[in-house]
Amino acid sequence: MDHRSALIVKLLAMADDELVLAHRNSEWTGHAPILEEDIAFANIAQDELGHAALWYEIVSALTGDNPDKLVFFREAAAYRNAPLVELPKGDWAFSMVRQYLFDAYEMVALPQLMNSTYKPVGDAAAKIRSEELYHLRHTMAWLKRLGLGTEESRSRSQQALNDLWPYALQLFVPVSDEHLLVEAGYMPDAAALQTEWLALVQPFLQECSLALPPHELAPGDRFHHTSYLAELLQEMQSVARLDPAAIW
Amino acid sequence: MSDTQWPRFEVFQQDKPGQLHYNAGSVHAPDAEMALLNARDVFARRPRCHSMWVVPVSAISAWTYQELVERVWAADGSGAAAASPQPYAIFRKELNSRNTLEHVIYTGEVAAASPEDALQQARTAFDDGVPVAVWWVVPTWAITRSDPEEVGSFYEPALSKQYRQPNHYHTRAALEHFRQTVKEA
């Protein structure tokens, strides 16, 4: 595998993470705990969709594939998102904990991506970062209140953390030949990112009175999905597939 | 029926540096920090915004034009005079029959012993001959302000989101084009 192919896989993984998470979050629209949060979380979902578009555009420049085609006409097996983001939205604690773990991952990855020697990546990361600062602030505010709130909110958050932690760790499993990208300065080293992520996340979770689950990877990876992804895509792609020739 | 809502906070928004904060609406939230985040998401989605304040409704003393006309004021604020003065923020909405969408706008600060004292001072200090429809008086400690350091992450991203603007979609032009196509077919 060469640099170009490795870069395409990596960028697809980044784009697919954002897209699938955006879709899961959008499922709260009309169902969030209060109207204000409904708007806030729909905003965040829309932001993640915008970030996905930025990564897909870079893929598109490399391969000539149309981003809409990548999103609406690829089968689940060809998606490269981490299973973390395809899991059903669960209860509010589950969605908040997932969003927090993902926001924290982006928060450590983006400053390094901004220094990528591959300029389109650096430019996109700079755009995304200012929004992620806000996302993290939002989810941290929620986690504190859930973790330190009532016994019910704490135990639901702990359960969510236990379920999500093994999936969150998969974010730091390199894709095929990712070392080529690290050597070229295109992408940061995943193991170093994980160390930084743990240093950010662990003390905060403790502050929220949430216990750290054991360090175990969940089954599956970016190439082997749960059945939830196919179900999600079936819904997400249904309209576009009704009339593939339609112009939007 | 009991109220199961979280407390209500009034939201004040400043569009550009140097402009006055105006009342954009209200949000519900369990506390001031969440109120500020909610305010940002509800009212600063579209450009532009530079700063926001939130105030719990319980901290606002309000008087309407009608109330002030009908009110007979006590000769002095005997009890209040003993309290040491603290800063109050004054907001007001002008009585303007032509424009009913006038905002409640930040007017300035006074140091006063009580909200009533602050109102009396404000009526003199900020009298510019324009009748006032409503006065809001808020002790400044009750105001939670967005952090100027966070302008970049709080408000600036909205500037690049043209897709949130209704005119981004050129629906009128698209509709015209569609009608034309149908006619020709």
Residue B6 main-chain phi, psi, to 5 deg: -70, 165
CA–CA distance, A108 with A128 (Å, rounded to integer)? 12
Residue B3 lies in a domain: no
Taking CB atoms and an 8 Å cutoff, what residues of chain A touch B33?
141
The CATH homologous superfamily of the domain defined by A3-210+220-242: Ferritin, core subunit, four-helix bundle (1.20.1260.10)
Burial class (CB in 10 A: 0-12, 13-18, 19+), B67: exposed
User: Which of A43-47, A80-84, A230-234, B43-47 is predicted least confidently?
Assistant: B43-47
Q: How far does chain A reach from its first CA to its final CA, in angstroms?
A: 36
Size of interface A-B (CB pairs under 8 A): 45
Nearest to B28 among A34, A40, A50 (CB): A34
Residues B46 and B132 sit within 8 Å (Cβ to Cβ): no
What residues in chain A have their Cβ under 8 A from chain B's Cβ atoms? 34-37, 39-40, 43, 47, 50, 127, 130-131, 133-134, 137-138, 141, 145
Assess whether pLDDT exceeds 90 at residue B171.
Answer: no
CA–CA distance, A29 with A43 (Å, rounded to integer)? 10
Residue B1 lies in a domain: no
Question: Residues near A190 by Cβ (< 8 Å), separated by ≥ 6?
Answer: A172, A173, A174, A178, A182
ipTM of the shown complex: 0.87
Residues A25 and A41 sit within 8 Å (Cβ to Cβ): yes
Give the pTM: 0.89
Partner-chain contact A127 B160, CB within 8 Å: yes
pLDDT of residue B177: 87
Q: Which residue of B has its CA nearest to A141?
A: B34
Q: How far does chain B reach from its first CA to its final CA, in angstroms?
A: 59
Q: Which residue of A has its CA nearest to B35?
A: A36
Q: Cβ of B18: how many Cβ atoms within 10 Å?
A: 7
Which of A28, A34, A36 is best to mutate for the B interface (most B CBs within 10 A)?
A: A36
Q: What is the pLDDT of residues B69-95, one digit of tens each?
A: 887 766 555 555 567 899 999 999 988
Partner-chain contact A145 B30, CB within 8 Å: yes
Residues A25 and A80 sit within 8 Å (Cβ to Cβ): no
Q: Which domain holds residue B116?
A: 8-184
Q: What is the pLDDT of residues A137-186, one digit of tens each?
A: 999 999 999 999 999 999 999 999 999 999 999 999 999 899 999 999 99
Q: What is the pLDDT of residues B12-66, one digit of tens each?
A: 999 999 999 999 999 999 999 999 999 999 998 777 899 999 999 999 999 998 8
Residue B128 lies in a domain: yes
The full set of domain ranges for chain A reads 3-210+220-242
Element (H, E) at B122: helix B115-125
Partner-chain contact A43 B34, CB within 8 Å: no
User: How many domains are contained in chain B?
Assistant: 1
Q: What residue has token string 């990876």?
A: A221
CA–CA distance, A140 with A100 (Å, rounded to integer)? 7
